[in-house]
Structure 1
Amino acid sequence: MLSINNLSYYIGGRPLYENASLHIKPKDKIGLVGLNGTGKSTLLKIIAGNIQPSSGEIQKAKDCSIGFLNQDLLSYQSDESILDVALAAFKDTLSLHDEIEEVLKKMETDYSDEIINRLAYLQDRFEANEGYTIKAKAEEVLEGIGFVTKDLSRPLKTFSGGWRMRVMLAKLLLEKPSLLMLDEPTNHLDLPSIQWVENYLKTYEGAVIVVSHDQTFLDRCIETTVEVSQQTLTAYSGNYSFYKEEKKERQEIQQNAFENQQQMIKQTEKFIERFRAKASKSNQVQSRVKALERMDRVNEVIDDNAAVNFKFKFSKKSGRDVVVLDNVSKSYGDLTILKNTTIRIERGDKIALIGANGKGKSTLLRIIDGTEKIEGERSEGYNVIKSFFAQHQLEALNVNNEILQEMVQAGSDKSEMELRGVLGCFLFTNEDVFKKIKVLSGGEKSRVALAKTLISESNFLLLDEPTNHLDMQSVNILIQALEQFEGTFITVSHDRHFIKGVANKIWYIENHEIKEYLGTYDEYVDWKSKQVDHDDSKAPSPKKEPVAKKESKKSASVEEANEAKKQLKKLEKEFEEVEGEILKLEAEKKRIEFILADPTIYDRPSDLESANKEYLDVTFQEQKYNEQWEKLAEEIELLQEQLA
């Protein structure tokens, strides 16, 4: 459907891509991953035609249409209602509707056969385009991503940037392009909306490329992961979790090959130095020099998964009760957020506050902070020292300060060395600490503000969407830091990977009350699904079927069993074939390992290079067959249980 061939793109003299290639097939579901600054968004812009590559080409099928959701759409405004903006996805069908209206108007004075035939033709086309259902489809998508019915008639310009972005996402989903490209689509969605989009993308008929820092979102809706690293594109045939495991194994193989090659290079260089002056060895010396020059060097693995050791210091330890809300109510006019709700935060609680936007999560954080007026009583425990992180705090950073200077002025009494250590945990190293705040990206400013929050020596943290604008590496760093935090915190977040990593309690607002689940997010999801199943089980039992229907069911059951037996036989045959291939590869691997164990091979650089390359290929193939073996084994086991 679309091919990227030998793509190169330079910013100034720095290559962002160099001879990168990627082939996208219809129905591919691709996640584009990599560190910030590697060029993920740039690649999408190149594919969309917004940027021209320095060299290489992008070939696409004639019928390939491209839809692109990017952060530039945040500034789009219109006087039209959000429903009309979304309906613009059906422009051809809307044109037919307008033409039908014109023909109907003409028919008030013109009853000719030509006019009647024209109307019949237009109505047939309108019906073929499912014109009578487009409004219902648009409403379904808009409500799926978080809009309420009464808002659909409001003008787009009356919504904030994040909500306008949702409308543009809805329009794109309704257009159904051959290739749908989404750049950080979850940034402006709450958890229920993210889950709705996940389910939509799973069954999307076209191809999808997603750039996202939400690891759970990627796991749920992609089937291929493409990593942007070292100016090239590397594809992994699985979701994000598969990619992490596969990459780890590839890196181990690459690092072993690198170390073997380095050992061989050292030995060769020693030989050259030792015999360079001997005329009798000149031919051998020259041969080895040329071999080193011709050698394809294996790169050392660069570990981009930073591990942090974040040392928190408390000047005071809080009492057992941190904050208690007793019979608290909060309303904005007719909008009720909380009503007569009571809840307690205790020392050591690590709370994730989840739920849809508009339920009052940020309001509740301000109530807990003591900055929001309420009815009822809020009491704060002994020795509680609070620190509040929210996105508006990015604006509170002094843009004329350098990063290190901003940290010094936070008043934590840490030395410059300690502050540099903290900044290093948040990926600001060496000369980076002297960058001015005003030149930082949104993600970098978030990291600075988070670092300031964490060095404040507070024993109670309130974190409002702390992962917004952070890349995956930064999110993982924040998770590690909070895992080491011995105080108390409550966080609002829609990032499930983050919530899973930090929370030991889940809060949500239901019927204007704060509900609490004592456990991790995974346990909460499991409990919630059982609650839904329990509710479903209360439904009335279906009426008994007539005997004839039961017999037909029995017949269908026999047919299904026969089909399962055929499938089992087929899988068992395939299983044996895969097992045979694994045995062959294991034997081949042992043969190569025997060759590599021979010390004399280091005197034959070309043979060593060939053996290393062969070893990498065989190991990679063995891994693929092992994965296939495991998948087949699971399928066979399921069918056997079904037939038992």
Structure 2
Amino acid sequence: MLSISNLSYFIGGRALYENASLHIKPKDKIGLVGLNGTGKSTLLKIINGDYQPTSGEVQKAKGTTIGFLNQDLLSYQSEDSILNVALEAFQETLKLQEEIDAVLKQMETDYSDEIINKLAKLQDQFEANEGYTIKAKAEEVLEGIGFNTKDLNRPLKTFSGGWRMRVMLAKLLLEKPALLMLDEPTNHLDLPSIQWVENYLKNYEGAVVVVSHDQEFLDNCIDTTVEVSNGTLTTYSGNYSFYLEEKKERMEIQQNAYENQQQMIKQTERFIERFRAKATKSNQVQSRIKALDRLDRVNEVVDDNISVNFKFRFSQKSGRDVVTLDHVSKAYGDLVILRDTSARIERGDKIALIGANGKGKSTLLRIIDGTEPIKGKREQGHNVIKSFYAQHQLEALNVDNEILQEMVQAGSKKTETELRNVLGCFLFTNEDVFKKIKVLSGGEKSRVALAKTMISEANFLLLDEPTNHLDMQSVNILIQAMEQYEGTFITVSHDRHFIRGVANKIWYIENNQIKEYPGTYDEFVFWKSQQELIPAESKKPDNSPKPEVKKREFNNTENLQAKKDLKKKEEQLALIEEKIIQFEEKKKALEAKLADPEIYSDGQKLDHLNQEYQKLKIEEEKVNAEWEVLVEEIGQIQEAIS
């Protein structure tokens, strides 16, 4: 279907690829893996035709269509509803619908056989294209990746970048190209949405090439792994776990071959040195010199798996109770997040807070931190020292600082040698520590912010999506660090590999209550699957028949009042949607200011902008909550008067 032959691609004088080859067959499910900077995303862009190779060929079979999800789509905007944007996947069918509508309009005045036959032909084509089901398909995919039904008619421009990316993913899945290429598709998905996409890709009729740092996602939806390393593409005929095992075996074989060859080379060199001056051995010496020159050298194995050994130091241990929540409630207007719920975090707890987006995980994390106002009581235990890691901390890094400088200013009182050791664990070695923050990638900034969190000497860590922007190697390093951490932590994450590696308790929010499972993630998944097998009736404390609830019918006076209320609420909704757009614009303006290096030279301005940005986010959440309540009320009124 698609063939890459002798591909070379240079950036400046550096070869990103050199004589690399790959063949993609129909229905292949390929995971593209490798360290950051090896060129995974670049390869996808070369296949898509965005970049031209320095040499070599990318050949496609005739009729091969390509769909490409990449991070550039974050900036895509549209006035259309997200449902209509997703329906753009069915361009041909939509065009047929337009032609049918035009013919029906024409038939108002023209009943000729020619027009009737034209309509019948168009309708047959429309039905053959499954035109009557495209809306249902689009709704199914959008809801599968996390959208509520009531959001489907909301304009795309009112959603944040991450949610817009979901819409573009839905559109691509509906287009069903022969080759679907996905660059970090799980970055903007919650756990239920990731699992839905996994199932979709397993049954996808075409070929798939995916770049992802989510190991379990790869394990669940690929059957071939292609490693990008040293400018070459190496294929392994299995999923990511198979690749790890197979690579380990190949490395052992290669290392043995390298050592045997080195021993042979040394023996040959000793022979040459010993008999170089003897005329009787000159032919043998020359023969061995030529043999060494012709020798195809085996490279020594470079193991990119790093073992870390953190020495966490606490100035003091916390008391037994770290944080206690007692009869806590939290709502944004009529949108209830928590209702009269209680929970306790004890010393030594390693908690993963999981679940779908919109359930209030980040809100709960802020409540535990003590920065979110609530009804009820939050009590922090004795000697608790907190450290909160979240994505906005990347923006708080001083872009003019060098990495080592930033670590020194974190105030941990560690020596430069100790700080270099910590940075080494986060893949910053040798001269890397003198890089300016401003030149780092998103993943590198994440590693710096995480390193700062780790040296804070806090005995209680709060981590909000710590694996975002990290590659697999960095995620494994973080897992090792958290395993060695002797304090208490709670983390929000959708990365199952990370959760599986660090958590001894699982929290989730259900029916506005904090629920706890006292065990590992695998135990929780098994328990949950068993719960789903229990008939719904047996879970109810009261199995008595419930009276039938009939739909209330309005009389004429009530109907008129309901229509007035509906009009009023629709006007309110329009105003709120305008507010949402304004919030998006204000956030963009603030983000642009926060990205300005000059701001970091003025600490007062930086603090003021960060406070303004956080305040804006909270206000935006409240407005979004109002929007959801209004949409629900409008739907109820429409149903009542219909």
Q: Is TM (by shorter chain) over 0.5? A: yes
Report what 2:526 is aligned to. 526
Report what 2:164 is aligned to. 164
Please identify, of 314-323 and 276-285, the stretch whose mean Cα deviation from structure 2 is larger.
Answer: 276-285
Q: Secondary structure at the match of 1:344?
A: strand
**1:535, distance to aligned residue in structure 2 (A):** 2.8
Corresponding position: 1:355 with 2:355 = yes
Corresponding position: 1:306 with 2:306 = yes
**1:230, distance to aligned residue in structure 2 (A):** 1.0
**1:110, distance to aligned residue in structure 2 (A):** 1.4
Q: Secondary structure at the match of 2:325?
A: strand
Letter in 2 for 1:84: N
How far apart in 2 are the matches of 1:67 and 1:269? 55
The TM-score, its normalising length taken from structure 1, stands at 0.83
Matches within 5 A, 1:197-216: 197-216=197-216
Letter in 2 for 1:200: Y
Corresponding position: 1:275 with 2:275 = yes
How far apart in 1 are the matches of 2:227 and 2:233? 6
Report what 2:463 is aligned to. 463
Corresponding position: 1:76 with 2:76 = yes
Matches within 5 A, 1:30-69: 30-69=30-69
The TM-score, its normalising length taken from structure 2, stands at 0.83
Corresponding position: 1:262 with 2:262 = yes
How far apart in 2 are the matches of 1:392 and 1:32? 29
Sort the Cα spacing of 1:169 and 1:80 in 2 relative to 1 into closer, same or farther, 3 A: same
**1:534, distance to aligned residue in structure 2 (A):** 1.7
Deviations 1:504-543 (A, max 9, x none): 000000000000000000000000000001236969xxxx
Sort the Cα spacing of 1:537 and 1:238 in 2 relative to 1 into closer, same or farther, 3 A: farther
How far apart in 2 are the matches of 1:319 and 1:509? 26
How far apart in 2 are the matches of 1:392 and 1:15? 35
Corresponding position: 1:109 with 2:109 = yes
Q: Secondary structure at the match of 1:277?
A: coil
Matches within 5 A, 1:112-511: 112-511=112-511
How far apart in 2 are the matches of 1:468 and 1:354? 15
**1:406, distance to aligned residue in structure 2 (A):** 0.3
**1:278, distance to aligned residue in structure 2 (A):** 1.1
Q: Secondary structure at the match of 1:87?
A: helix
> Structure 2 regions of 5+ residues with no counterpart?
540-642
How far apart in 1 are the matches of 2:11 and 2:27? 32
Letter in 1 for 2:529: S
How far apart in 2 are the matches of 1:196 and 1:334? 30
**1:303, distance to aligned residue in structure 2 (A):** 0.4
How far apart in 1 are the matches of 2:117 and 2:538? 55
**1:277, distance to aligned residue in structure 2 (A):** 1.1
Sort the Cα spacing of 1:56 and 1:100 in 2 relative to 1 into closer, same or farther, 3 A: same
> Structure 1 regions of 5+ residues with no counterpart?
540-644
Report what 1:94 is aligned to. 94
Deviations 1:76-125 (A, max 9, x none): 00000000000000000000000111111111111221111111110110
How far apart in 2 are the matches of 1:348 and 1:439? 37
Q: Secondary structure at the match of 1:27?
A: coil
Letter in 1 for 2:507: W
Q: Secondary structure at the match of 1:306?
A: coil
How far apart in 1 are the matches of 2:2 and 2:90? 24
**1:46, distance to aligned residue in structure 2 (A):** 0.4
Q: Secondary structure at the match of 1:5?
A: strand
Letter in 2 for 1:270: R
How far apart in 2 are the matches of 1:339 and 1:285? 87
Deviations 1:364-417 (A, max 9, x none): 000000000000000000000000000011000001100000000000000001
Sort the Cα spacing of 1:537 and 1:251 in 2 relative to 1 into closer, same or farther, 3 A: farther
**1:296, distance to aligned residue in structure 2 (A):** 0.5
Q: Secondary structure at the match of 2:405?
A: helix
Aligned-residue identity in percent: 83
Letter in 2 for 1:365: L
How far apart in 2 are the matches of 1:518 and 1:261? 54
Q: Displaced runs of 4+ in structure 1, greater than 4 A?
A: 536-539
How far apart in 1 are the matches of 2:250 and 2:21? 19
Q: Secondary structure at the match of 2:535?
A: helix
Letter in 2 for 1:63: G
Q: Secondary structure at the match of 1:382?
A: coil
How far apart in 1 are the matches of 2:473 and 2:310? 15
Letter in 2 for 1:396: A
Deviations 1:305-341 (A, max 9, x none): 1110011000010000000000000000011000000
How far apart in 2 are the matches of 1:538 and 1:374? 35
Deviations 1:536-575 (A, max 9, x none): 6969xxxxxxxxxxxxxxxxxxxxxxxxxxxxxxxxxxxx
Q: Number of residue pairs matched?
A: 539
Q: Secondary structure at the match of 2:534?
A: helix
CA RMSD, aligned part only? 0.9
How far apart in 2 are the matches of 1:171 and 1:334? 32
How far apart in 2 are the matches of 1:537 and 1:423? 55
How far apart in 2 are the matches of 1:248 and 1:523? 29
How far apart in 2 are the matches of 1:382 and 1:160? 40
